[in-house]
Structure 1
Amino acid sequence: MNEHKNGPVEAGASGASHARILPDDGLEGCLVGRVWLPGDLAGPAVVALRPEGVFDLSRAYPTMSSLLDTPQPAQAARQTPGQRLCAVDELLDNSGLGARDPARPSLLAPCDLQVVKAAGVTFAASLIERVIEEQARGDASRAQGLRSQVVGLIGESLADIRPGSAQAMALKALLQDKGLWSQYLEVGIGPDAEVFTKAPVLASVGTGQDIGIRSDSAWNNPEPEVVLAVNSRGEIVGASLGNDVNLRDIEGRSALLLGKAKDNNGSCAIGPFIRLFDAGFGLEQVRQETVHLRVSGDDGFELRGINTMASISRDPLDLVAQTLAAHQYPDGFMLFLGTLFAPIEDRDQPGGGFTHRVGDVVIIQSAWLGALHNRVQHCEALAPWQFGLRAFISNLAARGLLGGQAL
């Protein structure tokens, strides 16, 4: 049993080994996560991954939120002794796409009490695709023709424009004259970023778990992104990988359907861990990270893509500041930074573009953050999400983890 109770899937060649989940430098960084502990009092635990094994920190830090709120999270994670649960490869081998052994720990999404936020339209390429979605009104068959028209008018001119600048405002006036201005261009090159709530607290899935697309969506795609971990003081203390699963046909019909397109059962994946900032890893590495995507279908279709953080049009610090401008997050938040990647390869028919099929394996990987492995299923076919805040707090209480320390 785990927080987001995806049913077991058959093990196969696409199962993730520990070598393909860890960052390129293995356990050199400060990696923390959350696991589901088996037993009579089963439940989630905050863990640190070390060369000596996986260590349960939940007696000192019952929630990831409480660990990230310490003055120096990486130091706290390294110096807290904790109880050894298993070897790292044992945990990772039980957290792949194959069926999990319920008698052994397995990985969950690394966040718990944090609100899950997402920034959209933060790259020029994704901005163009959002405009195409809007112009196509969610009809994938119209996208190819519209793409040539839109790129012809605005194309590469967006890549070097700083949002909110005088140059951006001049381009806005030009596009308005051509009748091409849209709400996506407003958040793409205007002063205000798009920041929305991606998922409820505790609803995200982790590596090895199924991700969900609605069965009534015929045009959808993965969005491979870097996800920042931000504490209650607004400090960026770490980073992870995420899949901001997107239903292009639904959002394309109307931007007011964003919630229906973005927030569904299993539609938010984060993991495999949070890599905490320390002397060897920080915001500069995040700014230069390259995120790789691979989608492999049962039909033999394969899609590859990259998300190059150096091409982002809004700095991560600016996106965090805009998220905090008029709101507080006393338990911290996770922030998806957006993606350069927007798939346009045809899958089923010429001009039809890319869309997921049930059974697709999605791997999102980067050098500093490891690899997030998920398999696509219909949201309605996934086990219902039931481990919410009441269940979480009750579980911590039953395990004796609410003995006065901060959550």
Structure 2
Amino acid sequence: MLDPDQRPHGSVSEVFLTFLKLGLTSFGGPIAHLGYFRDELVARRKWISEAGYADLVALCQFLPGPASSQVGFALGLMRAGPLGGLAAWLGFTLPSAILLVLFAYGAAVLDGPLAAGAIHGLKLVAVAVVAQAVLGMAKSLTPDRQRAAIALAGAAIALIAGGAIGQVEAIVAGIAAGLVFCRDGLSGEPQGDGPVLSRRAGFVALAVFLILLVGLPLIAGLGQGFAIFDGFYRAGALVFGGGHVVLPLFDAETVGQGWLDRDSFTAGYGAAQAVPGPLFTFAAYLGAASTLPPNGVFGASIALVAIFLPGMLLVIAALPFWEDLRRQSWAQAGMRGANAAVVGILGLALYDPVFTSAVGEPLDALLAAAGFVALMAWKAPPWLVVVALAIAGALVSVARTGML
């Protein structure tokens, strides 16, 4: 499946353990996840260049599915081949999926001021991590006036248009601006950062994606397991932007089909906010909590694979042609503009929803600033900042309520 001229740079076990750590500590939603990825894989481990990472982010913004999980899958693929991509997905996804399945069985306890304070502290971590990512990417990807202006324009477009569509429009505008204003100093040299899949693999993945999208509704009536796979596969194949954007589709495919009641759906969504990793793992809870068999662990497994599969197939389909495109000097100019627009999009997201959902008073701002200083000045590992702010949030909450 891999281009024979390219070779992986790492091992499958290395990829799995790296993404398992990220899966255990990456709180705050998809924008925050991209910040964690950048800190761990670009700044610390240097698996990929800053520009190459921004290129992947831009690509995955264009594709349906969970953008942060697709970026992680692509990074694992580039690091250790197809098994590396699978290892990255498993490492990043399993922690939250397991926690949500346990919650479906009633094993998770998220009530009380202690738990609520810890969850709030985790939201403050996201503020610090995304701020660090925006600052670092801005230094690298907007080094001149032209790209700084493109970043500002990208943020404005994303703000005015709103939602996932606004982000796509901002990147398209950034590409157009890059073609005009970012041609200086281009080398025309290949820009790839790792092994790429062959074109044959890309065509096969696209064919499988389309066959499943068209064929699954035809066999959904054969049993509840097929119906679950079809419903979650379509949700993953048709949603842009990932994260909370997929919730209406989840609601339609579960509550709307009578698989579980509204209260169970809402409780599971609340639990999904408290766990690390991708929000798409909410599908595991829904599969486990379904009142119709298959449910439990088996139902969770079906839903989890189905929701992520289309996005991963599209990454495999796009990467071979994406790498070829990046070798062209005119495309490099366009990607300079796209990367600058990504900085603007992330900068806007730093304010809303990351900052606005976490910082409600001066003490919140102080704790978030402390996390930012720990990351930037003290070079503290993100997992340590996660633990520290979770404990701080819990202590503040207990002090205010006077009870556990």
Q: TM-score, normalised by structure 2?
A: 0.26
Which structure shows the higher helix fraction? 2
